[in-house]
Structures are given as C-alpha cells and as structure tokens.
Amino acid sequence: MAEAIEWLADGTPYSPRFGDRYRSELGGLAQSREVFLHGCGLPAAWANEPQWRILETGFGLGLNFLVTWQAWKADPRRPRLLHFVATEAHPASAADVLRGAAAHPELLPLAEQLQARLWGLLPGFHRLVFEGGQVLLTLCIGDTQAVLREQPFEADTVYLDGFSPSKNPGIWDIHTLKAVARCCRRGTRIATWTVARSVVDGLAQCGFVVEKTAGLPPKRDNLQGQFNPRWAPRKAPQATAAPPPRPSTCVVIGAGLAGAATAASLGRRGWQVVVLDACEAPAGGASGLPAGVLVPHVSPDDSLLSRLSRCGVRATLQQAAALLQEGTDWRATGVLERRMDGSPGLPADGSEAGRDWNEIASPQQLAQALLANGEASACWHHQAGWIKPARLVQALLTQPGIHWQGGAQATRLKRDAATGVWRVLDAKGHSLAQADMVVVAAGYASRLLAGHGSGGLPLQAIRGQVSWGLRSGDGPAGPPDGADEKAFPAFPVNGHGIFIPCVPTGAGPMWLAGASFERDQDDTQRRQQDQQANFERLQTLLPTTAQHLAAAFQSGGPRAWAGVRCASPDRLPLVGPVDAALQPGLWVNTAMGSRGLTFAVLCGELLAARLHGEPLPLENRMAQALAPKRFSPLTLIGTRLNTGK
C-alpha cells in the first residue's frame, strides 16, 4: 500500500503515521520557496554552473522538488543539469502527489509529469527523467541513513524536511545527520524550518555552521547554514578521489546501444563526442537485431540482476518515450513470461509497488497468449514491451554534441603521456580520432581494444539467431492474410526463448522468434539448424503459434538474422574505468549480454555519473558490481586469497 495520507479541512496533507503535517498550513508553496529554495541561496547559487546537485531528506509529496524544477525552468542562467536526490521511507501514491500540487496551478503541468512516472517505487533507487534528461530526480526509497550509504556524491544544496523532530526524531538523529554530512562538500548550503536544539547541535557536531533566520509566520525562525567543518571532511568510501573532469572531448568506439547511449549521456553533459564504428551504418552489430524484448528479470530473492534490470527497464522506457515513435519503433505492450518450472518466480512481498512491475498472469492473459489456464504458469510484466534497437541507436546518435563516423575500424589506442590525449588508430596506424577520453563500447571486440593488464577483458562471444516473417505470410508457405489472428499471442512472450507477435515494418507487421545461444562463437552466418532450433523452442513456448507457423518453418520460409552477444563471466555489464591508474581516461561500457535493450541506457548514465562524481542512478553496491576492476588480475588474486580459492 502507498503511504496513507489524510487531507485536512484546510487542504493540508497530514501523516497519521507521524502525526504531523507534510507542509505548513499557511502555504506549502511559500515554505518551499522561502525556507528551502531561497534559504539555500537558489537560484542565484547555481547560475551558469554546468550542474547542480540537491539532496532532500523526506521527498513527501514532492512539493520542494516541483518548486525547484519550476525555478530551474524559469532561470535563463540555469545549470545544464539539475540533479535532485530525495530520500523517502514511505512513498505516497502518485494520486496524492498530484493532489498535493492541485492548489498551485503553476506547478500542475510539472506535477502531472511527475505523477506519470511515480510507479513501482520498491525499496532502492529510481531515476526519473525530465526535460530531455536535464532534470534528473533520483528517488532513494528507504530510510535516509541507510540509502545515503549507497549514494556517494557531493551535494551543492541540502533540504532537510522530515517532519518535526519531536514527531520523527529518527530522520534528525546524529547518525542520519552524519550520513547527510558525508554527502556534502565544504560550502554546501543547508536549510530547514526547524530550529530544535537537538538539530542545531547535531548539525554543528557534523561540521555545519548554522544560523537562525527570520521564519515564515507563524514560525519565528528557520535554520540556514553551510558545511564548513573545522576538520578535513572524510569522503564516502566510494566517492571519486580526483576532482570530476569538466566536459571536454571523448571518442566512443562502437555505435551499438552501449556506445550510442554513452555518447548521448556525455553529450547531454556538454561533451563533444565522436562515435566511431567499423560498419558503414550505426547498429551494425548485435544492436541490429530487428526487434527484441525489454523486460525485467525476476527472482524469488530479488537478486542484484533483478534489481539492476528494473533500473534498466525504467531507463530505457523513459528514453524510448522521449526519442522514439511509440507503435512504430517500440511499444510498452507488457510481456508474459512463461515459468517453465511452474514456479511464479516472483518475490513473495506482493506489495503494490511490486505489482506495478509484475504479478502472476491472469487466466485472461494466459488465454490471450493461447495458453490454456492450468496448463501453464506465467507471470505478467506490466513494464515491458518490444523495441527496435537500431531505431534507438539512431535516435541517440542525433543528440547534441555527437558526431558519428562510420567505416572506422579501431585497431589500437595510444595515449600521449605528456598531454594525456588519446589517439585511436586504424590498422595502418593512421589516426581515426583523438580526444581526452576514450570509451570502448565495441561489444566482443572490446576484449582486446580495451585491454586489461596484459590479458584483455574477460569477455565471451555468444552467437544468436532469430527467425522472423511477415504476419500476412512472406513466402509461398506463409499463412494467408488474416488467418493468423487466432494463432498469435496478443503480446510478446518469453521464458523459453522469445516470441514477438507483431512489430510494424514497411512491408507489414512482422513476427519474430528466437533466439539461439551458442557460446564462444562469433560468426554471423545464418544457419538452417538455428532456424530449426528456434522452431523447437517455439513449440515449447507457444504450441499453438508453433503449429500455425510449422509449414513456414518446414519450407524454410522464415527469414533469419544473426548477431553476437558479448558477455562477462558473471553475466553483468562492464561499466567504468579500465585501470584508472595505468590508463587514465580509458573507460569501457560493454558486456550487455542478452539484455542490452534493458541495460545500455542505464549503463550510459552510470558511466557519466561515475565520471562526474554525480548521484548514481542505482545503488553504489550495484555500480561496484559492474566495475571492470572486479576482473582485474589484482582484484581476482585478492578475491582468491580472501576466499581461499
């Protein structure tokens, strides 16, 4: 259940849990503007800065966020990127958030956009994207002290807004204030409306210099201050040691989903990016897949992969909605996942936020997939659908700051030690491009290009082939027009391979079945035996559909597309610096495995966030789980020593 909120007669939202109002009865808007925005010297403080990062404890109904976003929109000197990170232990419903802004018509258009993105707020981080990626709201769902441990960034501004200390002492206790202080740099401005002795003392103990200022009536005082400890502040363990770079120049090698997403994330931050690819057109590798499914992973224990995949699905859905044509390039149809072992596969919590993501498939959904109820076990993914990856690649490459260059096969990378400039060379030793930074996103070819100590990155090639055809039949054995309506599911189905029933193309609607999975093979020849294997998979996944397509498969009717996935030993992507000490400025973003449509956009944002020391779009432990250094020879030796292996 979303947090219960009572609406008092004067229209103020009230928390029965804490016995306190969410905002001042005399005007939430005035409180947001005066206490928090102006109390922290905004908007003047952020003028002409490349980025501004705000941390709020207690997101509540998002009023402070909306007011800040509105001020950002109205400011001609606004920063290029506004990060708003908010903690929230008890998320309110989207409807209550909208209702909370209803009295303020100037905020309503923003509140409606916010409301539309407030779904599925399970514990963990949720990155909500606005203004084409220039306003990033990271909701950290959980207790403030705990979630800030997973968010090692330096805030420029802090809003403390967690109910009255007498009603909710936990969010003001010294441990939570210390966690806030760890997210501050010297000079970070802080504001709140409470002047409780315990808060003033606690803030002073944590290194904040605070003063009382005139309050909004009926309150006499507010509190403002800045982080200026008498000691050298201790950094969060994972915070970047070096000052983050100013946007400059970057070469990205590889114009698949990973490279294009990296380029777009850097371009949005003001980088000039050259994207090189060996092929003449973008998406010439695995991202040339005609269509694939975007679907979260589920597991009873909600594993790291499951949580990561949810962050990724949310990122891709938002990016697709912003850049692509729904219905033509992608569609959030929902996906039915067959559970071949009969287990539901879902975590047992069954919360409302969890059900926004997935639930046990209903008999009606099973029927729409032509699966008889009782014979099949399945879960239904609400936040899922199909997408044409090449369309997303093309759209990402048109983002500002990106220059695409095809027919450019990188063979070697060379860094000038004196200037720090990287040069990307072709087979003849000619320079293809040069820049301050290189990101290798070349799929399986990243293995040697990015190096790793002397042995290269530990990547595996996994060949795959899909079979596809036109719904109205594209060969002599194809089904006649309209005859396939009752034989195809109403939406994509996965769980034993995938089947996508209907993707529009210039020649008519297409179906697609796949995919084969052959380790350590990197050729893209189309093979008849893989067509047969796809058909056999389909017979298990969707027997009725397979029966309908049997004649087409037997006559060799369906077409084929083959590509090479690139996977790491633990099947998680590799995102981050290759070896910050030995090869500064060389980063990698690859190993998307079988889930590039889910991971690539998120990984592009993660790379940019790590580079700039920005708030992370996912918990730090997940970011660390994706760091290439986990496979560096030294880390591996250390792991072996620690585990005695």
Ligand X SMILES: Cc1cc2nc3c(=O)[nH]c(=O)nc-3n(C[C@H](O)[C@H](O)[C@H](O)COP(=O)(O)OP(=O)(O)OC[C@H]3O[C@@H](n4cnc5c(N)ncnc54)[C@H](O)[C@@H]3O)c2cc1C
Cα–Cα distance for residue pair 516/463, rounded to 1 Å: 7
Asked if residue 101 has a cis previous peptide bond (ω within 30° of 0), the answer is: no
Q: Are 120 and 310 in contact (CB under 8 A)?
A: yes
Strand locations in 79-144 (E): 81-88, 124-130, 135-141
* Phi, psi of 579, deg, nearest 5: -160, 95
CA distance 45 to 38: 10
Residue showing tokens 């050259």: 274
Residue range at the interface with ligand X (CB under 6 A); choices 35-43, 160-168, 405-413, 550-558: 405-413
Work out what residue 285 binds among ligand X, ligand SAM, none; the CB cut-off runs from 5 to 8 Å by kind: ligand X
CA distance 209 to 189: 10
Out of 162, 385, 558, 617, name the contact with ligand SAM by CB under 6 A. Answer: 162
Which region among 204-212, 266-274, 286-294, 480-488 touches ligand X (by CB under 6 A)? 286-294
Dihedral over Cα of 392, 606, 120, 372: its sign: positive
Segment lying near ligand X (by CB under 6 A), choices 29-37, 51-59, 374-382, 563-571: 563-571
- Name the amino acid, one letter, at 170: G
Q: Which secondary-structure segment (H or E) carries 604?
A: helix 596-612
- Report how far apart the first and last C-alpha atoms of the chain are (Å, whole number): 45
- Candidate segments 142-150, 435-443, 614-622, 631-639, binder of ligand X by CB under 6 A: 435-443
Work out how close the CB of 287 gets to ligand X at its nearest, in angstroms, rounded to a whole number: 3
Least distance to ligand SAM from the beta carbon of 91, Å? 8
22 near ligand SAM, rule: CB under 6 A: yes
Q: How far is the CB of 29 from ligand SAM (least distance, A)?
A: 10
Distances (CA, A) of 486 to 373, 386, 508, 544, 620: 17, 20, 18, 9, 47
Of 586, 499, 614, give the one whose Cα is nearest residue 252.
Answer: 586
Binding mask 252-271 for ligand X (x = CB under 6 A): -xxxxxxx------------
Q: What is the DSSP string of 191-223?
A: EES---HHHHHHHHHTTEEEEEEEPSTT--EEE
Cβ nearer to ligand SAM, comparing 33 with 269 = 33
Among positions 38, 80, 90, 526, the unique one binding ligand SAM when judged by CB under 6 A: 90
User: Looking at beta carbons only, is 49 or 143 nearer to ligand SAM?
Assistant: 143
**Residues 65-84 contacting ligand SAM, CB under 6 A:** none
Indicate whether 168 belongs to the interface with ligand SAM (CB under 6 A): yes
Does the protein bind ligand SAM through residue 171 (CB under 6 A)?
Answer: yes
Shortest separation between residue 286's beta carbon and ligand X, angstroms: 4
**Residue 222 partner contact from ligand X, ligand SAM, none using kind-dependent CB cut-offs of 5 to 8 Å:** none
Beta carbon nearer to ligand X, 600 or 608: 600
Residue 62 binds to ligand SAM (criterion: CB under 6 A): yes
Helix 304-323, helix 596-612: angle, nearest 10 = 90
Q: Taking CB under 6 A as the criterion, which residues in 205-224 touch ligand SAM? A: none
CA distances 59 to 101, 249, 294, 319, 589, Å, are: 14, 36, 29, 24, 32
599-638 residues in contact with ligand X (CB under 6 A) are 600
286 binds ligand X (CB under 6 A): yes
List the structure tokens of 529. Answer: 């035996």
Could you say which residues in the range 575-604 bind ligand X, by CB under 6 A? 590, 592-598, 600
Burial of 9: CB neighbours in 10 Å, binned 0-12, 13-18, 19+: exposed
Q: Which residues pair with residue 435 across a beta bridge?
A: 422
Stretch that binds ligand X, among 142-150, 191-199, 285-293, 615-623 (CB under 6 A): 285-293
Among 287, 365, 383, 531, binds ligand X (CB under 6 A): 287
Distance in Å, CB of 15 to ligand SAM, minimum: 6
Dihedral sign of CA atoms 60, 66, 67, 68 in order: positive
For ligand SAM, which residue of 70, 144, 446, 590 counts as binding (CB under 6 A)?
A: 144
Is 278 near ligand X (CB under 6 A)? yes
Q: Which of ligand SAM, ligand X, none does residue 514 bind to, with CB < 5 to 8 Å depending on kind?
A: ligand X
Instruction: State yes or no: residue 440 binds ligand X (CB under 6 A).
Output: no
Which residues, other chains included, contact 252 with Cβ-Cβ below 8 Å and sequence gap of 6+? 259, 262, 263, 266, 273, 274, 275, 276, 438, 439, 441
Q: What share of the chain is helix, strand, coil (3-state, %, to 5)?
A: 30, 25, 45
Note whether 88 binds ligand SAM by CB under 6 A.
yes
Binds ligand X by CB under 6 A, chosen from 445, 513, 542, 626: 445
In whole angstroms, the minimum distance from the beta carbon of 208 to ligand X comes to 44
By the rule CB under 6 A, 285 interacts with ligand X: yes
- The strand order across the sheet containing 412-415 reads 412-415, 422-425, 431-435
- Pick the piece of the chain touching ligand SAM (CB under 6 A) from 41-49, 163-171, 420-428, 571-579: 163-171
User: Which positions from 379 to 398 touch ligand X by CB under 6 A, shown as an x/- string?
Assistant: ----------x---------
Q: Distance between CA 162 and CA 59 in Å, rounded?
A: 8
Residue ranges in contact with ligand X by CB under 6 A: 253-259, 276-279, 284-287, 289, 292-293, 389, 408-410, 441-443, 445, 449, 464-466, 498, 514-515, 563, 565-566, 590, 592-598, 600
Residue ranges in contact with ligand SAM by CB under 6 A: 22, 56, 58-64, 87-90, 143-144, 161-163, 168, 170-171
